[in-house]
């Protein structure tokens, strides 16, 4: 089967890039995940950085440096819908590229990799994605100009490609695809290439255990707590003249209440704030009382539920 790489990947993105830096800066409340993921990916795709750090601060500590470097190049971002996983995955390469002073290409795998149901198609598509990743990483290694770089393969909705092989309803084709995915991770790990894989999923528990065992890092994402909601909302609302009590009221009503989950990050940024603005536009100013009422009436995104799991 001939695979069209233009359809296998959604697009190709190169970093550092100013747009990605701006998007990353807007992920308020994810400072811990951003810092951790930047460091982990830096070690996976650019081990020379850790080697230089060891030589500078702990000369001779080769064993501990090697133990850190000898990890599969896989990171899993798991958690609730609307928690910023995909946005972080699409922009974190900018932070890594700037920290390590290298160029990074991001290859977001398209859902076309699941194929059209033909026998062996999904397995071939996944293998082709890893083949291309290896090819790109090899080209970086052989660059005669000595420039440093890396490749990151991004797999969103990863549970669609790497679900547990222990699931009773899994077809042989899906099992083969998971096997191909595991072989791809091992291939990158064994060759110690300047490449890594980021997986994003709302269903972490649905991933195959052999995949999760290979993860160098697993980052959990949840809904913003009161402090994070205030951190996100206060700068915007204070510009409108809202006082602390009015801001606190909106922060409070966007939390968990009446048996329902609180607002997600995307609920706050993509639904609530625009709704407050559109309520006033174009003939009047934004009123705190209306903003609070809108927040009270808005229903947050329900937590993800795996419909395939009996309740």
- pTM, two decimals, is 0.90
Among 158, 192, 221, the domain-final residue is 221
| Tokens linked to 136 | 């790109």
Handedness of CA 280, 284, 287, 293 (dihedral sign): negative
What is the tens place of the pLDDT at every residue in 250-281? 999 999 988 899 999 999 999 999 999 999 99
Question: Is the pLDDT assigned to residue 309 strictly greater than 60?
Answer: no
Average pLDDT, the chain: 91
The confidence score (pLDDT) of residue 187 equals: 95
- 260 assigned to some structural domain: yes
| DSSP annotation of 28 | T
Tell me the C-alpha distance between 106 and 147, whole Å. Answer: 17
The confidence score (pLDDT) of residue 147 equals: 60
What is the tens place of the pLDDT at every residue in 118-151? 556 888 889 999 999 999 999 998 775 556 899 9
Tell me the mean pLDDT in the region 7-35: 93
In b/e form, how buried is each residue of 98-128, taking b as 16+ CB within 10 angstroms?
eebebebbbbbbbeebbbeeeeebbbbbbbb
Tell me the C-alpha distance between 30 and 33, whole Å. Answer: 5
**Does 180 or 119 have the greater pLDDT score?**
180
Domain span at residue 137?
A: 5-221
Among 155, 190, 221, the domain-final residue is 221
- If DSSP codes are grouped into helix, strand and coil, which group holds residue 77? strand
Whether 203 and 271 share a structural domain: no
Which range is least confidently modeled, 48-57, 160-169, 283-292?
160-169
Question: Is the pLDDT assigned to residue 110 strictly greater than 50?
Answer: yes
| Sequential DSSP letters for 241-281 | T--HHHHHHHHHHTSSBTTB----HHIIIIIIHHHHHHHHT
The confidence score (pLDDT) of residue 151 equals: 97
Whether 202 and 269 share a structural domain: no
The torsion angles phi and psi of 201, rounded to 5 degrees, stand at: -155, 145
Q: What is the CATH number of the domain that holds 101?
A: 3.40.50.300
Question: Is the pLDDT assigned to residue 216 strictly greater than 80?
Answer: yes
Q: Residue 306: pLDDT band by 50, 70, 90 thresholds? A: low
- 171 assigned to some structural domain: yes
What is the tens place of the pLDDT at every residue in 221-249? 999 999 999 999 999 999 999 999 999 99
- 305 assigned to some structural domain: no
The confidence score (pLDDT) of residue 258 equals: 86
- 202 assigned to some structural domain: yes
Number of domains in the chain: 2
Whether 169 and 258 share a structural domain: no
Whether 21 and 86 share a structural domain: yes
In b/e form, how buried is each residue of 222-259, taking b as 16+ CB within 10 angstroms?
ebbeeebbbebbbebbeebebeeebbebbbebbeeeee
Whether 201 and 254 share a structural domain: no
Whether 171 and 276 share a structural domain: no
């Amino acid at each position: 089967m001939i695979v069209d790489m233009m359809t296998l990947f959604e697009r190709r993105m190169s970093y550092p890039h100013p747009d990605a830096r701006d998007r990353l800066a807007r992920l308020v409340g994810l400072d811990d995940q951003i810092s951790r993921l930047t460091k982990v990916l830096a070690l996976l795709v650019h081990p020379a950085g850790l080697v230089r750090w060891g030589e500078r601060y702990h000369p001779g500590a080769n064993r501990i440096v090697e133990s850190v470097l000898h990890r599969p190049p896989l990171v899993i971002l798991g958690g609730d819908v609307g928690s910023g996983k995909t946005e972080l995955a699409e922009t974190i390469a900018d932070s890594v590229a700037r920290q390590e002073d290298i160029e990074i290409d991001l290859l977001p795998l398209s859902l076309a990799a699941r194929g059209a149901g033909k026998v062996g198609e999904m397995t071939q598509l996944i293998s082709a994605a890893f083949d291309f990743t290896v090819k790109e990483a090899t080209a970086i290694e052989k660059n005669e100009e000595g420039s440093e770089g890396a490749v990151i393969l991004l797999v969103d909705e990863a549970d669609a490609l790497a679900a547990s092989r222990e699931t009773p309803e899994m077809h042989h084709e899906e099992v083969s695809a998971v096997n191909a995915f595991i072989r791809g991770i091992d291939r990158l790990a064994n060759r110690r290439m300047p490449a890594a894989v980021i997986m994003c999923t709302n269903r972490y528990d649905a991933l195959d255990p052999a995949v999760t065992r290979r993860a160098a890092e697993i980052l959990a994402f949840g809904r913003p707590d009161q402090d994070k909601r205030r951190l996100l909302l206060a700068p915007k609302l204070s510009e409108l003249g809202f006082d602390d009590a009015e801001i606190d009221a909106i922060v409070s009503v966007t939390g968990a209440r009446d048996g329902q989950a609180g607002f997600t990050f995307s609920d706050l940024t993509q639904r609530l704030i625009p709704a407050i603005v559109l309520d006033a536009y174009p003939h009047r100013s934004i009123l705190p009382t209306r903003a609070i009422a809108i927040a009270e009436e808005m229903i947050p995104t329900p937590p993800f539920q795996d419909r395939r799991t009996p309740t």
